């Protein structure tokens, strides 16, 4: 068990881990690079998207709870700003489009460019990462849900 | 000079420097889009930044509550509680700095919800032991480091870039300590946050 006051033990543990190299590289790095970014971008890899969602969006969003941002289950195919008990910005509430692959991609690339005045400022610069995150959100949206 | 000091100074300069200090909308009416772009540049895009920084305040409120909930959970060893309370102090400092900036920009800082609401949103009832608590804290801290780094391009001034980058540094520090406590391996590749 880790003891916060015992740095020596912690460092020794790290050194042992380094020496043993017991953990495969894939497990150490939460994000792997797909072989063909262009090919995968079209479909998006929902498994990688889940890891990205946890690490990039997880400070502000969850699938089932409103936090800094609204809950995300069923967001794909839903009208913008439609979670009833979330307090959206006036800028987002005014809009009427539907979240699909294209609108989500533009949003994640630069929310303030798609919806000036939005309170979400977080950007995802890699197109592949956006495609993977969108695939994850689509996987957690029922086709017929509101 | 502090971030807030600079913003204040900028606002004073705006007020002093020109008899045509109007809202962005007013300038649009007079000069068209070019005037509005100019106005945005001069105010450091205050409107958009207030919203984005208020989301950051909301994130800090949640982080502060998470550590309060964890400290009171009875699941943590005393030494771990002590670290959590120290980390909470860092988040309180972040909150206070962000509130200063939002206020200086003329915004109304986002208010905190109750700890009970945060406990529900974070599903605190599912936490059964110290490892569960540390895992949640790590997830939030890693997410916060990434969140701050991802906000940088949306903010208009170097002062604000630097403030959120400094906070990202603190969150990364927290994540490293928590990852070590959990025995997680050190990531093999550099640039581990913010991509």
Cβ contacts of A126 within 8 Å, gap of 6 or more: B195
Instruction: Note the pLDDT of residue B43.
Output: 57
Which residue from A minimizes the CA distance to B155?
A121
Distance CA B166, CA B120 (A): 30
Inter-chain touch A68–B55, beta carbons under 8 Å: yes
Inter-chain touch A60–B155, beta carbons under 8 Å: no
Which residue from A minimizes the CA distance to B47?
A117
In this complex, the residue of B47, B147, B181 whose CB is nearest that of residue A122 is: B147
- Is the pLDDT assigned to residue B29 strictly greater than 90? no
Domains of chain B by range and CATH?
Answer: 1-43 (no CATH), 45-182 (1.20.1260.10)
Q: Which residue has the higher pLDDT, B64 or A29?
A: B64
Decide if domain A37-139 falls under CATH 3.40.50.720: no
Instruction: Note the pLDDT of residue A143.
Output: 76
- Is the pLDDT assigned to residue A21 strictly greater than 50? no
User: Cβ contacts (< 8 Å) between A12 and chain B: which residues?
Assistant: none
Mean pLDDT estimate for chain B: 85
Which residue from A minimizes the CA distance to B61?
A68
Give the orientation angle of helix B158-181 with respect to helix B78-104, to 10 degrees.
170
What is the average pLDDT across B29-39?
47
User: Cβ contacts (< 8 Å) between A66 and chain B: which residues?
Assistant: 121
Which residue from B minimizes the CA distance to A66?
B121
CB A100 within 8 A of CB A11: no
* pLDDT tens figures, B124-182: 999 999 999 999 999 999 999 999 999 999 999 999 999 999 999 999 999 999 999 99
Candidates A122, A126, A129, A132: best to mutate against B (most CBs of B within 10 A) is: A122
Binned at pLDDT 50, 70 and 90, residue B49 comes out as very high
Question: Is A89 in the B-facing interface, judged by CB distances under 8 Å?
Answer: yes
Instruction: Note the pLDDT of residue A42.
Output: 62
Instruction: Note the pLDDT of residue A13.
Output: 47
* pLDDT tens figures, A73-122: 999 999 999 999 999 999 999 999 999 999 999 999 999 999 999 999 99
Of B67, B62, B53, residue with least CA distance to B97 = B53
A144 Cα to chain B: minimum distance (Å): 26
Query: How do the domains of chain A map onto residue ranges?
Result: 37-139
Of A37-41, A64-68, B86-90, which range is least confident?
Answer: A37-41
CB A32 within 8 A of CB A41: no
- Is the pLDDT assigned to residue A39 strictly greater than 70? no
Question: Is A51 in the B-facing interface, judged by CB distances under 8 Å?
Answer: no
ipTM over 0.85: no
């Amino acid at each position: 068990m880790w003891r916060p006051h015992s740095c020596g033990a912690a460092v020794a543990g790290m050194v042992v881990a380094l020496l043993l190299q017991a953990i495969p590289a894939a497990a150490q790095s939460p994000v792997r690079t797909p072989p063909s970014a262009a090919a995968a971008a079209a479909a998006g890899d929902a498994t990688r998207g889940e890891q990205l969602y946890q690490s990039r969006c997880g400070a502000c969003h969850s699938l089932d709870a409103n936090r800094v941002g609204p809950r995300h289950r069923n967001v794909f195919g839903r009208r913008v700003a439609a979670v009833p008990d979330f307090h959206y910005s006036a800028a987002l509430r005014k809009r009427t489009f539907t979240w699909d692959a294209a609108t989500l991609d533009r949003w994640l690339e630069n929310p303030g460019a798609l919806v000036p005045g939005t309170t979400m400022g977080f950007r995802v610069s890699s197109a592949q990462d956006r495609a993977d995150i969108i695939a994850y959100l689509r996987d957690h949206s029922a086709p017929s849900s509101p | 000079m502090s971030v807030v000091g600079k913003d204040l100074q900028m606002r004073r300069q705006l007020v002093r420097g020109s008899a045509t200090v109007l809202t962005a909308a007013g300038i649009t009416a007079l000069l068209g889009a070019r005037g509005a772009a100019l106005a945005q540049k001069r105010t450091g895009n205050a409107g958009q930044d207030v919203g984005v920084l208020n989301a950051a305040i909301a994130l800090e409120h949640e982080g502060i509550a998470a550590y309060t909930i964890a400290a009171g959970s009875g699941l943590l060893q005393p030494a771990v509680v002590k670290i959590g309370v120290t980390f909470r102090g860092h988040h309180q400092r972040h909150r206070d700095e962000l509130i200063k900036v939002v206020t200086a920009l003329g915004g109304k800082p986002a208010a905190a919800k109750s700890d009970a609401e945060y406990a529900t949103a974070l599903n605190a009832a599912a936490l059964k032991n110290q490892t569960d608590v540390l895992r949640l804290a790590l997830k939030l801290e890693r997410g916060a480091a990434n969140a701050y780094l991802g906000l940088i391009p949306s903010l208009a001034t170097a002062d604000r870039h630097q403030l959120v980058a400094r906070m990202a540094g603190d969150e990364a520090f927290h994540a490293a300590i928590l990852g070590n406590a959990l025995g997680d391996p050190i990531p093999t590749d550099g640039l581990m946050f913010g991509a």
